[in-house]
């Protein structure tokens, strides 16, 4: 008998069909990865197993844990199962913990709520599981609060809570999506170790196919609430049957052809830039301390060149981006575009500012939801002394929307009418409309599904050919940076530790940190061999 | 935590200093000389001068400011121009009514609002929630003096459980004093409770949609356990802010209720002092109220830190 058996599970929420006759099973000690793009129903499958579905949910079919059907179980018994027999780890470690309770209390709560052991023993068990997940109490006392820990450490606490009672089934919903690659590698190792040590079944929900290929024994591919393909990892990778599965894997490893970059001619010059942040005083009359977010950074970006900037969160990528955009003043050094400084005196230099545009990560959050597309994409016009008006303006809007693969008619619509990928196209149109010399892409494809990401990358390559773009592409995703840039900068603790031709840096990394990054990133297996 | 408290204390002292200057300047700008007001239009010049000297009005403005502040620091608030009695005594008498009344009303309001707000949030969209929200809507809309009159009608005139007005004093025992404050406290508390319940509900609803509430459920907590153990404390921050504001309001803003119930409170004192140009009393009471407001804010700040560990370490 399987540990978890899902038979013909259907789910509607307020009448909308979310899941259609899902079938999957997990054996003890097995890792089953459910993958698919957003809206495929993979997270809802996880929540259905936990029986933590939103209001208005109606479930049909069978959901058996050790032969017990969870669906017709009273809520009291389900509470007894959650946390004890089924543990769950969530995507967002930053918000998954209660900010006003200590980590020790939160781990102990799992044990105490099920009255599994007396408080003294529960404390000892909490210490034990925290040590097991890599947070020994000697270094991370149980009295710590979540805000005193990093994202990776918080995820370890969440895992400790989930495994405190050694559940037979662990569900992990995008457990490493919010984490850096090196942290991701550690957390995945931890999960794998726990599965083999405790003989747990692991139901892993992730959109990252490299992680899937690396971790799973079984793969379940979902689309629009249906399972399109399932099978043992090795077998499925070698013989993909469904075109959607093949498309997913191909899109994940998508490569683009960038046009050759022209003769080097400096455009953006960054020289010995230092950006300090003031820290709060430690004592009342002490001098305030400083945190050096960007430390003596120098590089040159040539006209027509595509430069990548990679590094983990907190390394100073975003600070450097803001400094280049002239949003913040730097303490030392010089940033100039086309020979002109971005900061003159203590004010940003508008003449330079209008030559730069930026595309952000969140395609929805970066638009005013009450403006129509025409107004949104013409926003950069206010930087110009004589913005185009009348039919000239209409033509520019139409040209840009067409260039990014939308229709000129979309100008009259609102942002919420578009999908994530289309919104990012609008963001690109907004950046392009004043034909800037330099575009900064700040994690611009990180929030997109793989198939959409592949389309946006293609679009960028096309635009490079049409408009001779020069850009700085900031990302934590090494595979994307590898295909979409000519040169790359690797940043660690505010310093550029390595820079060079992208291909060279990736194939022959010189700095140990670059090597760590590349090794930690899970890689896609070669696919399609032997496929029909 | 200590650093946080010291920092808040420093800001408290600065606020008080600034407030005292502002109050002094504003009251000085107001037209009307208290001495000539007291003696009437036909006063002799030398009598006027003598009275001015007696009242301490004959020195420079800066000197008067420092005399005033220095006096307050040692508990000497000066002498009332109209009653010729020490202001500190007048204020102290009234404080014995206003302060207990404010605390009484705030306690009632909190006792009503917390359960109502939590109940409504836990049953969002269900009949219980709708009923509570309807009641709070009414509580906010109806003015408190109307409540006061209704309470008098029902509990004082018909049922004769309480007196319709006046203050029995604390000399005759705690219960006698509390009894004469009960109806005014209820009248003050109801609208405040309605506001507080709504704040509690919406704060809690925000918290209920947080990720960590889902984590709590995944650990095996029931909906109710998750709400009480993880929800309420996180929802307290906005609620504490409102409680602080309400206390300040209750201390000084209860003048209408004081009038309805013939209570000798601070509100009436200020009102009388303003009509009589008794500036020294006005200055002192206003300063005292500012002090109370700032103190309450200080305590609210400390309460924030007690509730939320993130504030303790940030500072």
B233 touches chain A (CB under 8 A): yes
Confidence of residue B32 (pLDDT cuts 50, 70, 90): low
The pLDDT of residue A360: 86
Closest residue in A to B231 (Cα) is A98
Across chain B, what does the average pLDDT equal?
85
Top CATH class of A4-252 equals alpha beta
* Residue B36 in domain: no
Environment class of B159 (CB within 10 Å of its CB; exposed 0-12, middle 13-18, buried 19+): exposed
The pLDDT of residue B313: 66
pLDDT in tens, B285-305: 888 888 888 888 888 888 888
Q: Do B313 and A82 touch (CB under 8 A)?
A: no
Chain pair A-B, CB pairs under 8 angstroms:
81
Confidence of residue B201 (pLDDT cuts 50, 70, 90): very high
State how far residue B215 is from chain A, nearest Cα, in angstroms: 6
* Residue B60 in domain: no
Find chain B residues with C-beta within 8 A of A114's C-beta. Answer: 220
Nearest Cα to Cα of residue A204 among A526, A527, A522: A522
Region class of A34: left (phi > 0), else alpha (psi between -120 and 50), else beta: beta
Mutate to test the interface with B, among A107, A113, A170, A279 (most CBs of B within 10 A): A113
Q: What is the CATH classification number for the domain harbouring B263? A: 1.10.3720.10
Which of B6, B220, B307 lies closest to A83 in CB terms?
B220
Which parts of chain A sit beneath pLDDT 70? Answer: 281-285, 526-532
State how far residue B136 is from chain A, nearest Cα, in angstroms: 26
Mutate to test the interface with B, among A53, A84, A96 (most CBs of B within 10 A): A96
Which residues between 240 and 299 in chain B have a beta carbon less than 8 angstroms from any beta carbon of chain A? none
Cα(A418)–Cα(A298) distance, rounded to whole angstroms? Answer: 39
**Total count of domains within chain B:** 1
The pLDDT of residue A471: 93
Complex ipTM more than 0.85, yes or no: no
Q: Do B218 and A81 touch (CB under 8 A)?
A: no
Domain with B275, as residue range(s), is 93-314
Mutate to test the interface with A, among B8, B204, B219 (most CBs of A within 10 A): B219
Nearest Cα to Cα of residue A94 among A143, A163, A147, A145: A147
Domain boundaries, chain A: 4-252, 269-279+289-520
State how far residue A83 is from chain B, nearest Cα, in angstroms: 4
pLDDT in tens, A126-165: 999 999 888 998 888 999 999 888 888 999 999 999 999 9
Cα(A204)–Cα(A90) distance, rounded to whole angstroms? Answer: 10
Contacts of residues A453-458 at CB distance under 8 Å and 24 or more positions apart, as own/partner, are A453/A251, A453/A254, A453/A480, A454/A250, A454/A251, A454/A254, A455/A405, A455/A421, A456/A421, A456/A424, A456/A425, A456/A428, A457/A254, A457/A256, A457/A483, A457/A484, A458/A254, A458/A256
Nearest Cα to Cα of residue A474 among A250, A261, A322: A322
Q: Could you tell me which CATH number the domain at A269-279+289-520 has?
A: 3.40.50.300
The pLDDT of residue A532: 36
Residue A164 near residue B220, CB atoms below 8 Å: no
Q: Which residues pair with A170 in a beta bridge?
A: A87, A202
Find chain A residues with C-beta within 8 A of B7's C-beta. Answer: 284
Q: Kindly tell me if the per-residue pLDDT of B8 is higher than 50.
A: yes
Q: Do A83 and B3 touch (CB under 8 A)?
A: no
> Measured at the alpha carbon of residue A19, what is the angle toward residues A78 and A80, in degrees to the nearest 5?
5
Q: Kindly tell me if the per-residue pLDDT of B40 is higher than 80.
A: no
DSSP codes, A422-465: HHHHHHHHHHHTT--SEEEEESTTTTS-HHHHHHHHHHHHHHHH
Nearest Cα to Cα of residue A366 among A353, A383, A379: A379
* Residue B306 in domain: yes
């Amino acid at each position: 008998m399987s540990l978890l058996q899902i038979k013909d599970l259907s789910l509607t929420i307020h009448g909308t069909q979310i899941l259609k006759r899902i079938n999957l099973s997990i054996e003890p000690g097995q890792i089953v990865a459910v993958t698919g793009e957003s809206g495929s129903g993979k997270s809802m499958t996880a929540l259905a197993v936990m029986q933590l579905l939103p209001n208005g949910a109606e479930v049909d079919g069978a959901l058996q844990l050790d032969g017990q059907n969870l669906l017709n179980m009273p809520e009291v018994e389900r509470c007894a199962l959650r946390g004890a027999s089924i543990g769950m780890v969530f995507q967002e470690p930053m918000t998954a913990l209660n900010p006003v309770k200590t980590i020790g209390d939160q781990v102990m709560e799992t044990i105490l709520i099920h009255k599994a052991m007396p408080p003294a023993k529960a404390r000892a068990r909490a210490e034990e599981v925290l040590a097991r997940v890599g947070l020994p109490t000697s270094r991370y006392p149980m009295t710590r609060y979540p805000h005193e820990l990093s994202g990776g450490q918080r995820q370890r606490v969440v895992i400790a809570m989930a495994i405190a009672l050694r559940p037979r089934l662990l569900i992990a919903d995008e457990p490493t999506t919010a984490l850096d690659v090196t942290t991701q590698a550690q957390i995945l190792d931890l999960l794998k170790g726990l599965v083999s040590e405790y003989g747990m079944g692991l139901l892993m929900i992730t959109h990252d196919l490299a992680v899937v290929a690396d971790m799973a024994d079984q793969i379940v591919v979902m689309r629009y609430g249906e399972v399109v393909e399932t099978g043992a990892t090795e077998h499925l990778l070698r013989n993909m049957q469904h075109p959607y599965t093949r498309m997913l894997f191909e899109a994940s490893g998508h490569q683009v052809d960038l046009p050759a970059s022209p003769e080097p001619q400096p455009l953006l010059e960054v020289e010995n830039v230092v950006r300090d942040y003031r820290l709060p005083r430690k004592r009342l009359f002490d001098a305030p301390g400083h945190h050096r977010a960007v430390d003596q950074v120098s590089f040159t970006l040539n006209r027509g060149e595509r430069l990548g900037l990679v590094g983990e969160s907190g390394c100073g990528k975003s600070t450097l981006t803001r400094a280049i955009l002239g949003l913040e003043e730097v303490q030392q050094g010089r940033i100039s575009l086309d020979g002109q400084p971005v900061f003159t005196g203590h004010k940003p230099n508008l003449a330079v500012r209008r030559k730069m545009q930026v595309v952000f990560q969140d395609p929805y959050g970066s638009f005013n939801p009450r403006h129509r597309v025409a107004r949104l994409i013409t926003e950069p016009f206010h930087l110009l002394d004589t913005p185009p008006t009348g039919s000239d303006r209409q033509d520019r809007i139409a040209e840009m929307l067409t260039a990014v693969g939308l229709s000129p008619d979309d100008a009259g619509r609102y942002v919420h009418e578009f999908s994530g990928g289309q919104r990012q196209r609008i963001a690109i149109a907004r950046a392009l409309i004043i034909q800037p010399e330099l575009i900064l892409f700040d994690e611009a494809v990180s929030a997109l599904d793989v198939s959409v990401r592949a389309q946006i990358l293609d679009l960028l390559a096309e635009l490079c050919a049409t408009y001779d773009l020069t850009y700085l592409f900031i990302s934590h995703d090494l595979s994307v940076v590898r295909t979409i840039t000519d040169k790359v900068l690797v940043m660690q603790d505010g310093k550029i530790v390595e820079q060079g031709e992208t291909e060279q840096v990736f194939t022959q990394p010189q700095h140990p940190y670059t090597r760590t990054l590349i090794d930690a990133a899970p890689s896609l297996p070669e696919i399609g061999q032997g496929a029909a | 935590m200590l650093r946080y408290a010291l920092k808040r204390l420093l800001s408290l002292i600065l606020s008080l200093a600034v407030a005292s200057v502002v109050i002094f300047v504003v009251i000085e700008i107001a037209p009307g000389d208290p001495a000539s007001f007291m003696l009437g239009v036909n006063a002799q010049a030398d009598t006027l001068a003598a009275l001015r000297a007696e009242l301490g009005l004959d020195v420079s403005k800066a000197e008067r400011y420092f005399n005033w502040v220095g006096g307050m620091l040692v508990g000497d608030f000066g002498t009332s121009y109209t009653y010729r009695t020490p202001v500190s005594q007048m204020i102290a008498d009234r404080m014995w009514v206003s302060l207990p009344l404010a605390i009484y009303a705030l306690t009632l309001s909190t006792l009503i609002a917390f359960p109502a707000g939590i109940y409504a949030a836990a049953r969002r969209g269900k009949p219980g929630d709708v009923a509570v929200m309807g009641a709070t809507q009414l509580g906010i809309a109806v003015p408190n003096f109307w409540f006061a009159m209704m309470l008098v009608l029902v509990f004082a005139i018909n049922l004769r459980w309480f007196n319709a007005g006046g203050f029995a004093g604390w000399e005759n025992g705690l219960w006698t004093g509390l009894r004469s404050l009960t109806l005014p406290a209820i009248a003050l508390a109801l609208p405040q409770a309605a506001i507080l319940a709504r704040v509690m509900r919406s704060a809690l609803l925000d918290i209920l949609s947080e990720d960590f509430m889902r984590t709590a459920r995944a650990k095996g907590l029931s909906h109710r356990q998750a709400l009480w153990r993880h929800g309420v404390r996180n929802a307290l921050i906005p609620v504490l802010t409102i409680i602080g504001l309400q206390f300040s309001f209750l201390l000084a803003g209860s003048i209408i209720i004081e009038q309805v119930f013939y209570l000798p409170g601070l509100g009436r004192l200020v009102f009388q002092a303003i009509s009589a140009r008794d500036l020294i009393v006005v200055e002192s009471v206003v300063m005292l109220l500012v002090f109370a407001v700032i103190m309450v804010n200080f305590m609210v700040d400390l309460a924030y830190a007690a509730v939320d560990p993130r504030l303790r370490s940030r500072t």
